[in-house]
């Protein structure tokens, strides 16, 4: 079930993905994404169980964040 919060995260993630110089491909399973607050980058990695991100939203809630939507 997709909630309104999920829809908002997905929309924000789409904006990030479509903005030049916001997503950087590191290797086959890793990316860096610019923080929307402008405070650095978040590391994203594809794992056997799905995408994992080091942003606070993903780490603390354990759910899909806008970085991996």
Question: For residue 48, what pLDDT is reported?
Answer: 94
Q: How does DSSP assign 16-53, residue by residue?
A: HHTSTTSEEEEETTEEEEE-TTSS-EEEEEEETTEEEE
Task: Confirm if 67 and 42 have CB atoms less than 8 A apart.
Answer: yes
Q: What is residue 33's predicted lDDT score, i.e. its pLDDT? A: 92
Looking at per-residue pLDDT, the higher value among 32 and 5 belongs to 32
Q: Which of the two residues, 41 and 61, has the higher pLDDT score?
A: 41
Q: What is the mean pLDDT of residues 5-21?
A: 86
Neighbouring-strand partners of residue 53: 44
The rounded distance, in Å, linking the Cα atoms of 52 and 3 is: 20
- pLDDT of 24 reads 94
pLDDT higher than 70, residue 2: no
User: Which sequence spans correspond to the domains of the chain?
Assistant: 4-61
């Amino acid at each position: 079930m997709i909630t309104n919060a999920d829809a908002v995260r997905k929309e924000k993630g789409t904006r990030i993905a479509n903005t030049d110089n916001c997503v950087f491909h590191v290797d086959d399973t890793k990316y860096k994404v610019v923080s929307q607050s402008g405070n650095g980058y978040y590391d994203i990695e594809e794992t056997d169980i799905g995408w994992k991100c080091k942003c606070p939203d993903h780490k603390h809630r354990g759910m899909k964040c806008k970085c991996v939507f």
